[in-house]
Amino acid sequence: MGHLGGLAFSLKHSTLEGQIIMIALLIFSLVSWTVIINKFRQLRKTRRRNAQFLSLYSAGNSALEISTQEKSLEGSSLFDVYREACDELKRQLNKYGNKIPLHGMSAVRIAIERGMGETTVNLESGMIILATAISGGPFVGLLGTVWGVMDTFAGIARSQQASLTAMAPGVSAALINTVVGLSIAIPSLFCYNYLVTKIREITIEMDNFAAHLDNVLATEYLSHKITDAPLSTGTMPGVDSQTGQQGAYPLTGTAHPGTV
């Protein structure tokens, strides 16, 4: 048995409960690493497609020029926001013509915010699994360790042989659960912090672009036509109490001649 390493020795003497907990931890580790790999791929693709989108957007002559290039820009968080805004803008243009009133432009702003919210949720999807692995992995491993130590002491009490030789296999097998739990939590912690930083950078970039897009669309398509005349320049029919004649009197904030 001396040729076996500490890990193999612990696995050999692990109890059924400890093995079940280790299997659960290993499954959760597989899920965590799947999320980590997928998030790295997603963020790398997002940054690459964002750079491609900004290049095409800067070279365009119109805000709607690249709104139909969905396949080539799929995965870009900026394009997702841009597409939501353009879809709503097209609906407003079909409804009002070349210029959109203020309430129509408000609908476009809401579409931009909706696109930002949906894209942010997509970027942060799966991060809860890493957060759970960081906080829960060590505790599940500790559960297996405590359980294994408890069984070890119960076995010693039944055999009435309190020796180091009798305790060592059980304690060693119990401690391996903590090792497995920490081996899940530590990589998840480092990857989580890195991914959160990159997601925050993409989110800030998306916020800046959304503010720019809102300004560009409002400048190009917002109608400045005033449909309601102010009260100070209008007229109101009335009767002059002194002459008894009817007439139209200006609304200047004071009573017309027909009132006291």
My answer on whether 136 and 258 are in the same domain is no
My answer on whether 64 and 117 are in the same domain is yes
For residue 24 the two structure tokens come to 């659960």
CA distance 218 to 100: 9
CA distance 226 to 29: 62
My answer on whether 154 and 173 are in the same domain is yes
Identify the residue whose tokens are 């081996």: 183
Which of 104, 58, 98, 48 lies closest to 82, judged by CA?
58
Q: Coil, strand or helix: which one is 239?
A: strand
My answer on whether 236 and 201 are in the same domain is no
My answer on whether 29 and 129 are in the same domain is yes
Q: How far is CA 11 from CA 157, 161, 169, 171, 185, in A?
A: 23, 23, 10, 11, 20
My answer on whether 152 and 234 are in the same domain is no
My answer on whether 122 and 249 are in the same domain is no
CA distance 7 to 211: 56
* 23 in a structural domain: yes
Evaluate whether 201 touches 78 at the Cβ level (below 8 Å): no
My answer on whether 133 and 165 are in the same domain is yes
My answer on whether 210 and 234 are in the same domain is no
* 245 in a structural domain: yes
My answer on whether 257 and 173 are in the same domain is no
* 1 in a structural domain: no
My answer on whether 165 and 123 are in the same domain is yes
My answer on whether 217 and 237 are in the same domain is no
* 127 in a structural domain: yes
For residue 182 the two structure tokens come to 């920490």
Residues of the chain with pLDDT under 70: 1-14, 70, 161-166, 224-260
State how many domains the chain has: 2
Find the length of the chain. Answer: 260
Tens of pLDDT, residue by residue over 197-253, are 999 999 999 999 999 999 988 888 887 654 444 444 444 444 454 444 544 444 444
Which of 184, 212, 192, 189 lies closest to 43, judged by CA?
192
* 122 in a structural domain: yes
Domain around 65: 6-221
CA distance 98 to 92: 9
* 53 in a structural domain: yes
CA distance 101 to 210: 20
* 63 in a structural domain: yes
Identify the residue whose tokens are 């965590």: 32
Which of 20, 17, 34 lies closest to 184, judged by CA?
34
